[in-house]
Amino acid sequence: MEKNESNIEENPNNFNKDEFFHSQNPEFQETKGPIGMKNSENDPEEYNHLKTIVSAFFNYQVDSLRDVQRMERDFESIDKKYKERMSFNYKERIEKIKKAIWQNYTFLLKIAQPYKSMFKIIKASTGEIIMEPLLVQPKDIIKMRSTLKLFIRDWSIEGNFERKITYEPILTELKNYFKDEKQYEKGISVLIPGAGLGRLMYEIAKLGFKSQGNEFSYYMLLSSNFILNNTTKKNEYMIQPLIHSFSNVYNENSPFKEILIPDENLYEELIKTQTGEMSMVAGEFCHVYKGNFNCWDSIVTCFFLDTANNIIEYVETIYNIMKIGGIWINIGPLLYHYTEIENECSIELSWNELKYIILGYGFDIKSEREVTCTYSSVQDSMMQTVYKCIFFTAVKIK
Ligand SMILES: C[S@@+](CC[C@H](N)C(=O)[O-])C[C@H]1O[C@@H](n2cnc3c(N)ncnc32)[C@H](O)[C@@H]1O
């Protein structure tokens, strides 16, 4: 992910259960408006950044069809004798891909629709009224597709196996640490920096905590906002995020897998909790929380620590904003994101070195173990990246 994906800072968008759906509380939508729009109005750089990302949503179909054309061309280019040896009709496959692209595009348009006004509407030479031509960089096309794929991890039944291994131990630690019912009544606050598509934040709220996500990527913010605020039932949308790769596939039908999201009715689930609340704050973690001191009961970092330019600054921020006696729960690898990125600082510490720093700030590491897991993986793919993650809990003792 890119540094400063979003520089915006917004007040928490309260997704608490009483104002959960825009449709149930239209005022909520009218006053807030699309995420990032209001904040970026007076900041041309931020506005253009947001526009670039929204362009990737609007241009998904065009960008994807360009790849399909290449695939079509390649199939066409081979000799007839090779085509005859194929067990399948490649033209049918191409048509199936096009249909899947359309399916995904319809979904992405729903997310991007509120941002339509950012784009000029022009009259084409054919007389058609169209949106100004959008130019999306390859890196944004990749990000758009990986965001689409991330819906599997966070919001589908297929993502359950990953969530069970990664999110479940965190939820268990939280429940155990705050098991005294009385503490729940006080409203235990849990912060999740790098909240991604928001599932962990939502699961923590379901347990009755005051759960706040923080995220700086507009890809994530727009998508999580949509799923958290605009879905009204289980399995409301069908997407096919795997159609962009036919590599490492055992079964030719696998890339066409239909993914239903969300895998539960969020409103129905959240309404069951008396104390649970959700909010999301947009912006860079250290920057957004630098003025907060001793106010969080818990901080949960899941596949987040290695996204830092300077991981020590993350530890310092976590230390500063956590209450004495608060618990930090972490799971993730140390795959430093800025390694080998030119002009980007990247402080790469081993787990032992990092532990020394964590202890030095005033944390007591209560537990530490290895958890083997994948991240946004395709279960039946021939290729799997497996992380032996460090899972630890640390209590701020001074
Ligand atoms: C590897 S993803 C993990 C997402 C989620 N926690 C999960 O487990 O699926 C890391 C997330 O952190 C976000 N992120 C990275 N650096 C950040 C920063 N400095 N402030 C806020 N968010 C950040 C990225 O945009 C990305 O969504």
Domains annotated for the chain, with CATH where assigned, are: 141-396 (3.40.50.150)
Task: Note the helical H segments in 178-265.
Answer: 181-186, 199-206, 218-230
Cα separation, 209 vs 327, in Å, equals 14
* Mean pLDDT of the 92-100 span: 97
Percent of the chain with pLDDT strictly greater than 70: 90
pLDDT, tens only, 307-321: 999 999 999 999 999
For residue 9, report the distance from its CA to the centre of ligand 1, in Å.
16
* Mean pLDDT of the 82-97 span: 95
Q: Quick one: CA torsion of 134, 92, 159, 382, rounded to 10 degrees?
A: -110
Higher pLDDT, 61 or 23: 61
The conformation of residue 198, written as its DSSP 8-state character, comes to S
**What's residue 22's pLDDT?**
25
Higher pLDDT, 6 or 290: 290
Higher pLDDT, 350 or 180: 350
pLDDT class of 29 with cuts at 50, 70, 90: very low
Q: Phi and psi of 42, rounded to 5°?
A: -100, 15
Q: How far apart are the first and last CA of the chain?
A: 34
Least confident of 39-48, 78-87, 245-254: 39-48
Q: Identify the residue whose C-alpha is closest to ligand 1 atom 1.
A: 303
For residue 196, report the distance from its CA to the centre of ligand 1, in Å.
5
Q: Identify the residue whose C-alpha is closest to ligand 1 atom 11.
A: 194
Cis peptide bond upstream of 262, omega within 30: yes
**What's residue 132's pLDDT?**
83
Cα separation, 140 vs 202, in Å, equals 27
The conformation of residue 250, written as its DSSP 8-state character, comes to S
Give the chain's mean pLDDT: 90
pTM exceeds 0.85? yes
Ligand 1 binding pocket mutation candidate from 143, 197, 200, 215 (most atoms within 8 A of CB)? 215
